[in-house]
Amino acid sequence: MARRSGALVLNVDYGRSPETPFLAAIEQIKHVLVHVGTYVGEFGCSGAKLSVAADSAGAQVVAAAMHLLAEANQPLPDSAAFIYPALDATMQHDTWRSFGSGYRLTRKTMEWYWTQYLGQHPSDMGAQAYDPCVPPMYSHHLSQFPRSLVVTAACDPLRAEGEEFFQRLSQAGVDSKYLPVPGQIHGFLRFRRAFTDPEWGADAVMERICRFLIG
């Protein structure tokens, strides 16, 4: 991303679960966004735009952090890219039935991930499973989100969650774009040598993401 965008890229090593309890990572990212936005000049980028990109579970953390920033009326980044985001602990979308096994990311694995992250199985959370810090797409502050790009993969069980997030952002009036990548699975950007299609391979999609963020 740094090479393709020509931008200064900060990689945040936020706390991982289960050692880091739920909400702690979200708070960490929130504070990073505030700090970088406030002291951007110290990074040699005075006057530059602040963009954020995250994939999968990281996209959930970033979106939840933005919800908290918006709730507190604090400044948000100028743009954001949410790449095959994991946003719904209930896993009720149809794509879980279509792609929940045999496409790398399985339902059983995702249930385990959510349980480690939340500290309890999603089915035990009740109404808390719909708190905007769990599925940020239910935030009442989406209208304050920055211009956003949502990227999904056609054969990803998380695809419908990303689609709904994009729809909710658009309905809230956010300048948002949707990039559905055909024929791909969850996490495909990590496999540059395997997915080399000139239009929809890993490098080609990353190029589109970078163009959006620096645009």
The Cα 135–Cα 162 span in angstroms is 11
| Per-residue pLDDT in tens (0 to 9) along the chain, 215 residues | 888 888 889 999 999 999 999 999 999 999 999 999 888 888 877 667 899 999 999 999 999 999 999 999 999 999 999 999 999 999 999 999 999 999 999 999 999 999 999 999 989 988 888 999 999 999 999 999 999 999 999 999 999 999 999 999 999 999 999 999 999 999 999 998 888 888 899 999 999 999 999 88
CB 45 within 8 A of CB 214: no
CB 15 within 8 A of CB 25: yes
The partner residues of 152 in beta bridges, in order of sequence, read: 180
Residues contacting 31, CB < 8 A, separation 6+ = none
Nearest to 25, CA basis, from 90, 118, 89: 118
pLDDT for the residue numbered 47: 66
DSSP state of 170: H
pLDDT for the residue numbered 84: 99
CB 31 within 8 A of CB 17: no
Q: Does the domain spanning 15-89+129-147+165-202 belong to CATH 3.10.129.10?
A: no
Q: Where are the domains of the chain?
A: 15-89+129-147+165-202
Nearest to 87, CA basis, from 12, 178, 159: 159
For the segment 154-179, what is each residue's pLDDT rounded down to a tens digit?
Answer: 999 999 999 999 999 999 999 999 99
The Cα 14–Cα 20 span in angstroms is 9
pLDDT for the residue numbered 46: 64
The Cα 141–Cα 34 span in angstroms is 17
Nearest to 29, CA basis, from 41, 15, 8, 43: 15
Number of residues in the chain: 215
Q: What is the CA radius of gyration of the chain?
A: 17
For the segment 86-123, what is each residue's pLDDT rounded down to a tens digit?
Answer: 999 999 999 999 999 999 999 999 999 999 999 999 89
Pull the structure tokens for residue 153.
Answer: 């993969």
For the full predicted model, state whether its pTM sits above 0.75: yes
Q: Which helix (H) or strand (E) holds 51?
A: strand 51-55
